[in-house]
Every structure is written in structure tokens, then in C-alpha cells.
């Protein structure tokens, strides 16, 4: 238990106790199903079955041909708008079916690996990076100190990969007994693009691999803000007894769990780290996450190093999962452990959160556009299916937001309606489908890996955070379609967090203004359908939510500073009025005292 009250020790052993590797046949990673451990599986099976079925029934009901709108002759342009509305409604519901089916599938197949004792003597390098001027050296110290406390039964070197060849960083490494590496000033390791691209995380790592990779079997890696726990290597490296394991990854949690943005950002990641990654274990292909991992150096060298992408971790994992281990002829595998083995820092401002979401979504789009087309020819079907479900999340969310706004706009301004259904039947189907979806989500909360979220919490903040991120994903999607250049941005941490301003929310304010104007226009135009207006109001509320939280936080902080200042001033006044104690005597102090006889 940490002094801050979070039980990191227990959460670092969620996969179970360490076991001895079975003797005899060559070792392969073993797994236990999450569903098989549940005493009341019938409830989960019903939710997994009924949620996608009822969502699909709602889709069929809405787009059924007898429900299409019929127009009088001469209203050709309205017919065209109705068709657009119908297609938009159909796609929105179809994406909802895919999303619910994905969660149901993950619930059914999610599993945890059985931890095994590492093989002794494995040579490990523990790496983290540093960008002078972008990252705080005190934060680097905490990470390196944590790395030096990690247990390992074999050769272990801790390395700092310093982008700037900084003198203070060198002094810190010398103080802690950590090895220092820098590619600064080496032209072949600082190129305009490719695996050695300058000012990128993957370029930094690839330079180290080129120089020192052959000295080790594995490298462990954490982001600069992630402090590893002492059992980091004990819980991860045992899986490399399986010769086909290319990398092992763990969940991402935020230790600076104090700011509303940070709390909601961690909650937003619940489905990915608690469920989707565990489902990836079913296909031996959970996604590569760069925040904390252990990598087989021979595997990453086989593909030419970490992939050149704004999200190099996901792109590298995708490439590895397409390739075969030349020693065994089998496809490379990966392992996700739910053990929390490193504690990092999350974004504390909306500016940094939006930047993070923009980068993550843009990297996904780049993988879809540049890499995905190769997968059907080189990746096993199950693995391709798993990756497809993971990769379509960002584009589906982005397109859904656009189609939802488009539908509201077409109705509120023009009265377009792609389908006409009985309100009572629609409400019944929709409410039942929504209840089942929420029930499935809440049932999976029991598998939450976060040591910070209170037990029994519903994760509403995370759901809200996902909803209000949709406009960011749409902007990123547009930039990817237009082939606008992307660049890697280090997410500021701690006291270096980017300040929020009104312009931070310009994307959300644009959509809120568009919806507000459309709602006002609908009053004058007589387009008053309750459901469409309700959707418009909800979308506007989603757009304004981050602005509202920002304003509320500013007001709360201002009051706290004022109360602190008033308390300090009051304390100073009391101290002036209290007796002065010196040499055991009490000298009274009076406001009328002159200090004379």
C-alpha cells in the first residue's frame, strides 16, 4: 500500500501468483478466461447476446423500407435530403451494432496470462528517454531511481536515452549509476524520415538498438513520467520463456490522480486496458503500448526497428504481428498482463488531453491507411479480426459524430426525415438497447485494473470523456484524409502542463454554435420533432461540457486560493496579537503600547 492510499502492490499481481514453468515440452504462455472465473456467467451471457441483438433490431426497424419517408411529386430535392438522412441514420446504428458486438466479443474471449518465474541469466536493458527543455529532470530522476530498484536475476543495465546530450542528465546518470546514451550530433541517426527520424521517440530508441542492441536479449521500456515498481521485470520477463513472444505490455495508469481531467482520462481508458487488451490475448496479439513494456530485441530488429509513425508503438506491434519468428516459423506473439507495474502521469489540462487524443487517433488512421492493407495477406484471420475491431474505434467515433450533426442540421433547417417510425416503438427499442449496453459496460467494470478509481464506480466520467473526444477524432480524421503532416508532440507533465484558454475549446465551441443556431432556426421554420431536437441539445451539451468543467475548475481554484490567502492573513494577524514568549517570560503586546515607561 502506498502512502497516498492506492494499493499498487495488490494491483501489481492481478494476473495471479508467479508459478514455475512446466517441465518437459517447450513452454508456451498459458491463459485463464475471465468469464470462466465468474460464478454468475449466465447473466453475462445474456448481456453479451441480447445487447447486440436488440441494437441490431433497432437498426433494422429504423431502415425498414415501409418506414421510408414518401414525398409528393416535385419535391425532388427533399427526397435527396431524405436519402442522405436515411443513410446517415443507418450508418450511425450500424456503427453502434459494431461497437456493442465488439464489447460483447471481448467480454466472451478476454483472458489473463498465467505468470511464470523468469528464466535466470537473461540480459536486460531498462530504457527511458529524456528530451531536454521538454521534460523535467526531477521527473527523470524519479523514473531512473525506480528503475534502479527493479529486481532481476541476471545482467541488468539502466539506460537514459538523452535527445540533447545534456550535461545535467549526464551528471544525474553518473550519480545514480545509470548508463547514458545520446544520438545528438550523429547525422545517420537524425534523418528527416524513417526509423532514425530526428526528434522522435522511435528514432531515439532505434539509435540505441543500432549501437547497443546486440549486448542484450530484451529491453524494458517506460515513458519518462512512468515510475516502475520493483517487480516490473519479475512479472513480465517470464513470458519470454515462450520463444515466439515478441513483446509484453501492461496497463497505463495515472498516479497524479487529483485533477478532474486526469481522473476522467484514466477512466476513459477502462475498456481498452481492462477488456480489449485482454481480448487480444485470445489471439496472442494484444496491441503494443509504449508507456511500459518489455521487448525481444531480435524481433524488433527483424522488422528494421521501431516503426516510423506518430504512434510508433501501435504501428510497430502491427508490423510484428504480421511477421514470423525465423527460429520457429510461427507468427510472433505478444502478451498483455493486467498487472499495474508502472505508475505514470496523465494530462492535467484540456489542452494536453486534446493533444494526446489527437496524436493517438492520428496514429490509428495512419496505420489504417498505410499498413492495414497488407494484413489480409500476412496476418492470421483471428488476429486480423481482433486488430480490425481495435482500429475502427477512432474512425467510427469520428464519422458517427459527423453523421449525427448532419442529421440534426438537415432536419432542423430543412425538415428532412429519412424514416418515419412509431415513437412508442422507437422509444421502447432504443431504451432497451441502451439499458443492455450500459449493463454490459457496468458488468465489465468488475475487471477494472485501475488502482485509483473507487471500487464499484460506474465509470461515467470515462464514458463522458469518450463522447466529448469525438470532435477531436473528427478533426484528426479530416487531417489524415487530407494528408496534412503530423508530428510527434511530447505530452507535458506536472508543472509543465499547457495552460487552458478559451481557444483550447474552439472545435467544441464551433459545433455548439452550429447546433444552437440550428435549434433557433427550427423554431422559426416549424421543424419541431422532439427526438431530433433532443439529439441536438445532447450534442450541444457534449460540446459545451469541457468548457463547463474548465470554468468550474477555475472558479474552484480561485476560491481555494482566496480562502488560503484569507487563512494566511488571519493567521498572521493572530500571531501579531498573541503573546511573545521569550526566556520563559510572557510579555503582553498591546496596540496602545509605546515601548516606554
C-alpha cell at 58: 433497432
Q: Is 52 left (phi over 0), alpha (psi -120 to 50) or beta?
A: alpha
What's the pLDDT at 420?
86
For 433-438, what is the mean pLDDT? 92
For 583-589, what is the mean pLDDT? 36
Task: Name the DSSP letter for residue 527.
Answer: -
List, for residues 364-405, the tens digit of each pLDDT value.
999 999 999 999 999 999 999 999 999 999 999 999 999 999
Q: Cα dihedral sign for 12, 14, 17, 18?
A: negative
Model confidence band, residue 443 (pLDDT cutoffs 50, 70, 90): very high
Locate cell 544525474: which residue? 172
What b/e readout covers 343-380, taking b as 16+ CB neighbours within 10 angstroms? Answer: bbbbbbbbbbbbbbbbbbbbbbbbbbeebbeebeeebe
What's the pLDDT at 492?
62
Whole-number Å distance between alpha carbons of 409 and 443: 36
Locate cell 427526397: which residue? 79
For the chain, give the mean pLDDT: 91
pTM (2 decimals)? 0.91
List, for residues 137-162, the tens digit of each pLDDT value.
999 999 999 999 999 999 999 999 99
Locate cell 466529448: which residue? 468
What's the pLDDT at 578?
55
CB 337, CB 13: distance < 8 Å: no
What's the pLDDT at 4?
65
Whole-number Å distance between alpha carbons of 80 and 76: 6
Model confidence band, residue 430 (pLDDT cutoffs 50, 70, 90): confident
Q: Looking at the predicted structure, is the pLDDT value of residue 407 above 60?
A: yes
What's the pLDDT at 16?
96
Q: Is 295 left (phi over 0), alpha (psi -120 to 50) or beta?
A: beta
Integer-rounded Cα radius of gyration of the chain: 28
List, for residues 256-304, the tens digit of each pLDDT value.
998 889 999 999 999 999 999 999 999 999 999 999 999 999 999 999 9
For 445-453, what is the mean pLDDT? 94
Q: Looking at the predicted structure, is the pLDDT value of residue 555 above 70?
A: yes
Beta bridge partners of residue 32, listed in sequence order: 112
With a CB cutoff of 8 Å and minimum separation 6, the contacts of 373 are none
List, for residues 6-39, the tens digit of each pLDDT value.
899 999 999 999 999 988 788 999 999 999 988 8
Locate cell 457534449: which residue? 542
Mean pLDDT: which of 131-135, 188-192, 590-594 is highest? 188-192
CB 330, CB 360: distance < 8 Å: no
Residue (of 361, 243, 347, 335) closest to 280 by Cα position: 335
Model confidence band, residue 569 (pLDDT cutoffs 50, 70, 90): low
Count of all residues that appear for the chain in the document: 597
List, for residues 109-122, the tens digit of each pLDDT value.
999 999 999 999 99
List, for residues 196-244, the tens digit of each pLDDT value.
999 999 999 999 999 999 999 999 999 999 999 999 999 999 999 999 9
Q: What are the Cα distances from residue 174, in Å, to 167, 169, 579?
A: 11, 9, 52
Whole-number Å distance between alpha carbons of 27 and 309: 34
C-alpha cell at 428: 421502447
Whole-number Å distance between alpha carbons of 383 and 368: 15
What's the pLDDT at 595?
40
Degrees to nearest 5, angle at CA 427 with 425 and 433: 100
Local structure of 506: helix, strand or coil: helix
What's the pLDDT at 24?
75
Q: What are the Cα distances from residue 91, in Å, to 56, 94, 397, 403?
A: 12, 5, 11, 8
Model confidence band, residue 592 (pLDDT cutoffs 50, 70, 90): very low
What's the pLDDT at 133?
87
What's the pLDDT at 384?
96
Locate cell 496505420: which residue? 367
Stronger pLDDT, 314 or 485, i.e. the higher one: 314
Q: Cα dihedral sign for 286, 288, 292, 297?
A: positive
Q: pLDDT above 70 covers what percent of the chain?
A: 92
What's the pLDDT at 482?
92
C-alpha cell at 443: 458488468
What's the pLDDT at 39?
82
Amino acid at each position: 500500500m502506498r502512502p497516498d492510499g492506492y494499493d499498487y502492490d495488490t494491483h501489481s499481481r492481478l494476473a495471479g501468483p508467479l508459478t514455475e514453468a512446466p517441465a518437459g515440452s517447450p513452454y508456451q504462455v498459458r491463459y485463464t478466461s475471465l468469464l470462466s472465473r465468474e460464478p454468475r456467467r449466465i447473466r453475462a451471457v445474456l448481456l453479451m447476446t441480447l445487447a447486440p441483438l436488440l441494437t441490431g433490431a433497432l437498426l433494422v426497424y429504423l431502415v425498414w423500407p415501409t418506414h421510408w419517408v414518401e414525398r409528393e411529386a416535385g419535391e425532388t430535392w427533399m427526397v435527396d435530403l431524405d436519402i442522405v438522412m436515411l443513410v446517415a441514420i443507418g450508418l450511425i446504428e450500424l456503427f453502434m451494432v459494431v461497437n456493442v458486438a465488439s464489447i460483447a466479443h471481448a467480454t466472451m474471449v478476454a483472458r489473463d496470462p498465467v505468470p511464470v518465474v523468469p528464466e535466470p541469466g537473461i540480459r536486460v536493458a531498462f530504457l527511458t528517454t529524456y528530451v531536454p527543455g521538454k521534460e523535467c529532470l526531477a521527473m527523470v530522476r524519479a523514473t531512473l531511481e525506480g528503475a534502479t530498484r527493479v529486481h532481476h536475476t541476471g545482467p541488468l543495465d539502466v539506460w537514459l536515452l538523452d535527445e540533447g546530450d545534456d550535461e545535467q542528465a549526464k551528471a544525474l546518470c553518473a550519480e545514480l549509476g545509470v548508463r547514458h546514451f545520446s544520438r545528438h550530433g550523429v547525422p545517420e541517426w537524425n534523418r528527416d524520415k524513417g526509423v532514425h527520424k530526428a526528434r522522435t521517440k522511435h528514432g531515439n530508441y532505434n539509435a540505441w538498438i543500432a549501437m547497443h542492441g546486440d549486448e542484450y536479449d530484451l529491453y524494458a521500456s517506460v515513458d519518462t513520467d512512468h515510475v516502475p515498481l520493483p517487480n516490473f521485470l519479475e512479472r513480465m520477463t517470464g513470458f519470454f520463456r515462450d520463444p515466439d513472444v515478441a513483446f509484453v505490455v501492461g496497463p497505463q495508469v495515472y498516479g497524479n490522480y487529483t485533477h478532474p481531467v486526469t481522473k476522467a482520462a484514466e477512466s476513459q481508458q477502462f475498456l481498452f486496458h481492462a477488456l480489449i487488451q485482454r481480448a487480444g490475448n485470445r489471439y496472442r496479439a494484444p496491441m503494443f503500448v509504449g508507456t511500459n513494456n518489455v521487448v525481444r530485441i531480435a524481433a524488433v530488429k527483424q522488422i528494421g526497428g521501431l516503426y516510423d509513425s506518430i504512434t510508433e508503438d501501435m504501428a510497430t506491434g502491427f508490423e510484428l504481428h504480421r511477421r514470423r519468428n525465423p527460429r520457429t516459423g510461427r507468427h510472433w506473439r505478444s502478451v498483455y498482463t493486467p498487472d499495474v507495474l508502472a505508475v505514470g502521469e496523465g494530462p492535467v489540462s484540456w489542452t494536453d488531453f486534446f493533444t494526446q487524443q489527437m496524436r493517438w487517433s492520428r496514429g490509428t488512421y495512419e496505420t489504417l491507411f498505410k499498413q492495414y492493407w497488407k494484413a489480409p495477406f500476412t496476418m492470421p484471420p483471428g488476429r486480423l479480426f481482433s486488430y480490425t475491431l481495435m482500429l475502427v474505434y477512432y474512425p467510427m467515433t469520428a464519422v458517427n459524430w459527423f453523421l449525427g450533426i448532419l442529421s440534426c442540421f438537415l432536419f432542423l433547417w430543412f425538415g428532412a426525415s429519412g424514416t418515419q417510425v412509431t415513437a412508442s416503438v422507437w422509444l421502447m427499442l432504443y431504451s432497451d438497447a441502451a439499458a443492455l449496453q450500459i449493463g454490459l459496460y457496468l458488468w465489465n467494470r468488475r475487471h477494472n485494473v485501475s488502482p485509483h478509481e473507487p471500487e464499484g464506480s460506474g465509470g461515467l466520467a470515462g464514458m463522458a470523456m469518450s463522447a466529448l473526444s469525438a470532435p477531436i477524432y473528427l478533426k484528426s480524421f479530416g487531417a489524415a484524409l487530407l494528408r496534412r503532416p503530423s508530428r510527434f508532440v511530447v505530452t507535458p507533465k506536472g508543472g509543465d502542463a499547457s495552460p487552458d484558454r478559451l481557444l483550447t475549446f474552439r472545435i467544441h465551441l464551433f459545433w455548439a454554435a452550429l447546433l444552437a443556431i440550428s435549434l433557433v432556426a427550427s423554431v422559426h421554420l416549424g421543424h419541431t420533432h422532439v427526438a431530433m431536437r433532443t439529439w441536438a441539445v445532447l450534442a450541444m451539451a457534449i460540446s459545451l461540457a469541457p468548457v463547463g468543467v474548465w470554468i468550474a475548475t477555475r472558479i474552484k481554484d480561485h476560491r481555494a486560493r482566496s480562502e488560503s490567502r484569507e487563512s494566511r492573513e488571519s493567521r498572521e494577524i493572530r500571531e501579531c496579537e498573541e503573546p511573545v514568549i521569550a526566556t520563559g517570560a510572557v510579555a503582553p503586546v498591546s496596540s496602545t503600547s509605546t515601548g516606554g515607561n
